[in-house]
Every structure is written in structure tokens, then in C-alpha cells.
Amino acid sequence: MSIDLSLEDAFVRHQILIQRYAKGREREAMRYIKALIESVQQQLGTDQLSELSQARLQRLLYDIELNMVLSGDNFRDSAIKELLEFAEYEVKWNYDVLRNTITDFDDFTLPTQEQIESIVYNDTMTLEPNQNYTISAAIDTFNNKKQNQIIQSLKDNATLALPIAGVIGVLSGLKLLQGRQAATLSRTQTNRVAVLSRQTTMRLNSSEGRQTGKQQKPMSGYYKWVAVLDSLTSYICISRDGRVYKDIDKNPKPPAHYNCRSTITYLVNDKYNKGGKGKAYRTAIGEDGKEQRISDTINYPQWLRRQPAGFQDEVLGIERGEMFRRGTLSVDRFIDENGRSLTLPELRDLETQLDATGSAPSTTPDFGL
């Protein structure tokens, strides 16, 4: 198995387009929150909440909550429909790029409609401990939490006899906060659908997927984690960048966290690799904000070591940056086996162990080959 540079280049360039598409979905999510809260503000009118009778206040809150539930259901249904269309586009794009890149194999398999729908309806993401949500459930959970925040805020302000202008101001603050949170959820789900669309297509066309007699399939079943080379990338994605894994069902895949921008590329069985002998490049954004063109064989930690100390500190934090420059702790030791970022006291203890013994227990499992 090996990396087909033409295929990898197509995957990485396509991720840029996915991020642009995700930006559009973020704006839609923010518009939804904006319209939701502005609708609540209009329903409030000019009456002081504290001057309303209990019956009138309860009726007003009921009407507001009903309107929010209906708006939330419409947003969820629209998001699901759009993500399903996105998944259909993505599996077809991955299928087409295989056919156009690997020309000496003519039995590629396109995922069925049922398999595409499973990406959107059945997959669960675990971005927080003990929280596994399908896309639909995640949107419903988000809506319920935000609607409860709004209702509780109105109840609290009625009890405190806050002037209506103050209530409107509180809601405006929630609009900004919840808008950003909705955008984050939307961006994360978009990346998840993109990754699963690739996984589904590649599995069907790998030696571990559907078999055609004894003919070997083009894809190997091995995949590589590809992070974004800039100052916004998380510790966990920095540590995984460039790592090759086998069996995606047992090993990590993006998104690793909310706002994750990482993607995956797949390795090809050697007999089908026609574009893997040259050099491939990837784009990085350094301290000056300008694009850098670097070899595809360089991973994030290697690239980061070449950057100025100020940029390293911007990415890692000052004390972690100093640990990184001392060379006693590699970036993969900044997280534990569950992807949690270790605290500075935990890292200091780890570094002390290394200084004392010459080795330190690994904080991350060996997912590689």
C-alpha cells in the first residue's frame, strides 16, 4: 500500500471547498438564531414582564416556547435535508475521483441511497464524554438547551423586574452567543458528513470491502489523518496529523472535537498506484499570515518545529511552547488516550518523570501500523 499523490492532492484540495461550504451553513445557522430571538423580542412587545399577571405571563411564555419549538423543528428538518444532499454529492465526488485517478480498474462501487442516508440518520458523534448523538438528536438537544435558556432568562428577568429594554438587551447577548454555538455545531456536522461520505465510498472500493472474485480492490483500507497547518489547529489534531491508521471503525476519525477541520485521505494498494512517485505539497499558514508550500511528507509537529518561537507559543501556549522547544515532550504527549488536553501541572509531572528516568509513559495509544 502507498499514497497516490494525485489522489491525495485531490482529497486535500477538496477539503478547502468543504470548508467554504461549511461557512455557508454556519451563516444559515446564525441567521436561524437571529430570527428566533428577534421573533421572541417582537412577541414581548413593550409590556414590563413584572407587571403582567401570572396568567398572562404564563400564556406569553407558552406562546414564545411554542413558536421556538416550531422554528427549531423547521431548522432541524432543513439541516437534515441539506446534509443529505451534501452526502449524496460527496459520495459521488469521491466515487468520481477514484474512477478518474485509478484508470486500470473498472469495477468501482457507488454507495447506495440506503448507505448514504445512514451517514446522516444513523451515525453518532462523540465530541464530549458520554455524549453520543446522531445529527438529528444533536440539533434537537441544541434547540432544547437554547430554548430553555431563553425561557429561563425571561422568567428570571420577570422576577427581577428588569425593564423591558434590559430584557431585550439580555436577549441580544444570547443571540450573539447562541449564534456562534449554532455555527459551531453546523460546521462540525458538515465535516463529519464529509468524512463519513469518504469512508463509505472507500470501504466499498477497498480490499477489505466488497470483493469481486479474487480481484484486489484499489483501496487498501488504511487511511491518513490530515490536519490544517495554521495557528488554530488543536493539540489533538496536531498530534494526529500525518499518522496512518488501519480499520477506521476501531480508530479515530474527524471531527475530533467541535470546530474540527481535519480530514482523512486513503492509501492505495500498490498495483493501482500510478501517481505516487513524484512530490506532493500542502499549504501552511505561518506567523506572517502568508501561505507556505511544504512537502506533503512533513507533519504538523515537524512543521511547527521550523516556525519562530512566537508562533509556537501562539499555537501551544507559552509554557507548552517552552516544553516543545526543550524537546522533552512531543506534542502527542500533550493529550491523554481519550484526546483530553493535559493540564500544565500534569505536563510538568510528565516532564519531571522524563528528566528523572529518561522515559515517560505514553499518554496516547498506538493507533498506527
DSSP 30-54: HHHHHHHHHHHHHHHTT--GGGS-H
> What pLDDT does residue 214 have?
59
The closest alpha carbon to 229, from 318, 189, 309, 289, belongs to: 289
How far, in Å, CA of 9 to CA of 11, rounded?
5
Burial of 353 (0-12, 13-18, 19+ CB in 10 A): middle
Per domain, the residue ranges of the chain are: 1-297, 308-369
Residue 28, pLDDT score: 93
Neighbours of 271 (CB within 10 A): 10
Q: What is the pLDDT of residue 367?
A: 36
SS3 223: strand
State residue 208's pLDDT score: 58
**pTM of the entire predicted model:** 0.84
Between CA 191 and CA 258 the distance in angstroms is 10
CA dihedral 328, 331, 333, 335 (to 10 degrees): 150
Whether 213 contacts 129, CB under 8 Å: no
Closest-CA residue to 339 (of 264, 285, 258): 258
Task: Return the pLDDT at 355.
Answer: 64
DSSP character for 334? G
Q: Which three cell numbers stand for residue 26?
A: 454556519
Cell of 260: 474540527
Residues of the chain with pLDDT under 50: 209-211, 359-369
Cell numbers for 261, please give them. 477541520
pLDDT in the model for residue 276: 56
Q: Helix, strand, or coil here: 81?
A: helix
335 by DSSP, 3-state: which?
strand
Contacts of the segment 297-305: beta carbons below 8 A, 24+ positions apart = 298/242, 299/241, 299/242, 299/243, 300/227, 300/229, 300/233, 300/237, 300/238, 300/241, 300/242, 300/331, 301/238, 301/239, 301/241, 301/330, 301/331, 301/332, 303/229, 304/238, 304/331
Please, which residues have CB within 8 angstroms of residue 361's CB and are 6 or more apart in sequence? 350, 353
Residue 366: per-residue pLDDT: 39
